[in-house]
Amino acid sequence: MRYRLLSALIASAVVAVDAAPAASYDYIVVGSGPGGGPLACDLARAGYSTLLIEAGGDEGDNPTYAELATFNEAANDEATRWDFWVKHSDDPARELQFQHMTWDTGDGTFYIGLDPPPGAKQLGIQYPRAAVLGGCAMHNGAVCTLPQDDDWNVIVNATGDTSWEADKMRRYLKKIEKNDYLPAGNADHGYNGWLSTSRGDVSWAKNNSLAGTRILRKMAELTGQNPEDVGVLMDTDILGAYKNKDEISSFYNMVQHADRQGKRSSPNNYVRATLADPKKYPLTLQLHTLVTKVLFSNESTPRAIGVEVMQGASLYKADPKHIPGTKAPLTQILANKEVIVSGGAFNSPQILKLSGIGPAAELQKFNIPVVKDLPGVGEQLSDNYEGSILALGQIPADSGLITLQFRTPSAPTKKRNIFTWCGAFSFEGFWPGFPADYGPNQYTCAMVHISPKSQAGSVRLVSADPQDVPDINFRFFEHRGDEDLKEIVEGANLLREAWQAAGEPVLPFNELHPCHGTNPLADGKCSDAVQAQSFKTQAYSHHAASTCAIGGDNDKMAVLDSKFRVRGVKGLRVVDASSFPVVPGAFPVLPTMMISAKAAEDIIADATKKSG
Q: What is the pLDDT of residue 523?
A: 72
Give the number of other CB atoms < 10 A from CB of residue 500.
15
Residue 255: closest CA among 206, 202, 210: 202
Interatomic CA distance for residues 283 and 275, integer angstroms: 6
Please check the confidence at residue 459 and state whether its pLDDT lies above 80: yes
User: What are the φ and ψ backbone dihedral angles of 124, each rounded to 5 degrees?
Assistant: 135, -160
**Cis peptide bond upstream of 508, omega within 30:** yes
Q: What is the pLDDT of residue 521?
A: 76
Interatomic CA distance for residues 398 and 395, integer angstroms: 9
CATH topology of domain 81-126+201-253+384-456+472-541: Cholesterol Oxidase; domain 2 (3.30.410)
Domain ranges of the chain: 21-80+131-196+263-381+547-612, 81-126+201-253+384-456+472-541
The SS3 assignment for 607 reads helix
| 428-440 residue pLDDT tens | 999 999 999 999 9
| 513-563 residue pLDDT tens | 999 999 887 777 899 999 999 999 999 999 999 999 999 999 999 999 999
> DSSP letter string over 58-91?
--TT-HHHHBGGGHHHHHH-TTTEEEEEEBS-S-
Residue 14: closest CA among 129, 128, 132, 130: 132
175-184: long-range contacts (C-beta < 8 A, 24 or more apart)? 175/597, 176/38, 176/593, 176/594, 176/597, 178/265, 180/259, 180/260, 181/255, 181/260, 182/237
pLDDT band at 17 (very low <50, low <70, confident <90, very high): very low
Interatomic CA distance for residues 167 and 170, integer angstroms: 6
Interatomic CA distance for residues 291 and 286, integer angstroms: 11
Mean pLDDT over each residue of the chain, to the nearest integer = 95
Beta bridge partners of 294: 307
Interatomic CA distance for residues 473 and 247, integer angstroms: 32
CATH superfamily of 21-80+131-196+263-381+547-612: FAD/NAD(P)-binding domain (3.50.50.60)
Annotated binding-site residues for FAD read 132, 140-143, 291
| 316-336 residue pLDDT tens | 999 999 999 999 999 999 999
CA angle 185, 191, 196 (to 5 degrees): 140
Q: What is the pLDDT of residue 465?
A: 98
pLDDT (mean) for 73-98: 98
CA angle 352, 539, 491 (to 5 degrees): 125
H-only helix segments in 138-278: 149-159, 166-176, 211-222, 230-233, 267-276
Annotated binding-site residues read 132, 140-143, 291
Total-model pTM: 0.95
Q: What CA–CA distances, in Å, run from 528 to 204, 295, 319, 392, 533?
A: 33, 53, 40, 21, 9
Let me know if 440 is exposed, middle or buried by CB neighbors in 10 A (0-12, 13-18, 19+): exposed
pLDDT cut 70: percent of the chain above it: 96
Q: What CA–CA distances, in Å, run from 406 to 256, 284, 450?
A: 20, 45, 10
Interatomic CA distance for residues 396 and 249, integer angstroms: 28
| 197-255 residue pLDDT tens | 999 999 999 999 999 999 999 999 999 999 999 999 999 999 999 999 999 999 999 99
**R_g over Cα of the chain:** 24
- DSSP designation for 18: -
pLDDT (mean) for 100-119: 96
Beta bridge partners of 256: 143, 198
Helix 211-222 vs helix 481-499: crossing angle, to nearest 10 = 130
pLDDT (mean) for 169-189: 97
Q: What is the pLDDT of residue 610?
A: 87
